């Protein structure tokens, strides 16, 4: 089995965490290959050197990013769940391009600076914006906007469209997609920093 594929043990960790706090994950199983394909289809892989991912869970999407990204690119993941941090660190410990941070996505600017990176080219988020406190949601969105280079993309997947209004206030026009072949069906939002 290749490193980028979730193992049975990782799926069990994901399911166990779903039952602990279903609202935080929204689904009993990680993202489908259909969702991942649609989410990543417009990424300009040759141009992206710094990826940021919020809420990677067991790394289903992270693994696909790592497969596609340039050899000199970096993937910085932000995760607050202890179990998922452990899984991610174990899963990607042999890849120096991946940095697993046990901290909030709101810290993105500070974290990039600490790693000696100026701006991110692409940010990806599956964290549950719809259930976050207003101030926390705004902090993540505003700090993501500030952390992206001009022309950088913010790709968001959610089970609700509630975050769209907040994204439009900060990023302007938002392209919305939908992936029915996911459990639960997911809405995708693509924002570009102008």
What digits encode the pLDDT tens for the residues 66-123?
Answer: 999 999 999 999 999 999 999 999 999 999 999 999 999 999 999 999 999 999 999 9
Domain span including residue 40: 8-192
Please report whether residue 1 resides in a domain.
Answer: no
CATH no. for residue 186? Answer: 3.40.50.150
- What are the residues facing 125 on neighbouring strands? 54, 156
Total number of domains constituting the chain: 1
**pLDDT score, position 132:** 93
Question: In the structure, what pLDDT confidence band is assigned to residue 65 with cuts at 50, 70 and 90?
Answer: very high
In a domain, residue 2? The reply is no
Q: Are the beta carbons of 31 and 182 closer than 8 angstroms?
A: yes
The reply to whether 177 falls in a domain is yes
Tell whether 19 is covered by a domain: yes
3 inside domain = no
Question: Please, what is the Cα angle at 95 between 121 and 53, to 5 degrees?
Answer: 35
pTM: 0.85
Please check whether residue 56 lies inside any domain of the structure.
yes
User: Is residue 14's pLDDT more than 60?
Assistant: no
What's the length of the chain? 194
């Amino acid at each position: 089995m290749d490193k980028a594929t979730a193992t049975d043990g990782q799926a069990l960790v994901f399911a166990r965490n779903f039952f602990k706090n279903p609202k935080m994950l929204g689904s009993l199983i990680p993202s489908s290959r259909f969702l991942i394909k649609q989410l990543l289809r417009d990424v300009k892989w040759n141009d992206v050197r710094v990826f940021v991912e919020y809420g990677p869970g067991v790394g289903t999407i992270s693994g696909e990013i790592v497969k596609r990204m340039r050899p000199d690119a970096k993937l910085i993941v932000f995760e607050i769940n202890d179990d998922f941090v452990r899984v991610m660190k174990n899963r990607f410990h042999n890849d120096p391009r991946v940095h697993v941070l046990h901290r909030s996505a709101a810290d993105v600017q500070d974290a990039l600076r600490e790693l000696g990176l100026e701006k991110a080219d692409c940010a990806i988020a599956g964290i549950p914006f719809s259930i976050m406190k207003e101030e926390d949601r705004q902090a993540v969105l505003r700090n993501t906007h500030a952390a992206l280079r001009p022309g950088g993309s913010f790709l968001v997947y959610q089970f609700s469209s509630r975050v769209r209004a907040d994204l439009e206030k900060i990023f302007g026009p938002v392209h919305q997609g939908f992936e029915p072949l996911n459990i639960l069906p997911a809405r995708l939002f693509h924002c570009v920093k102008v």
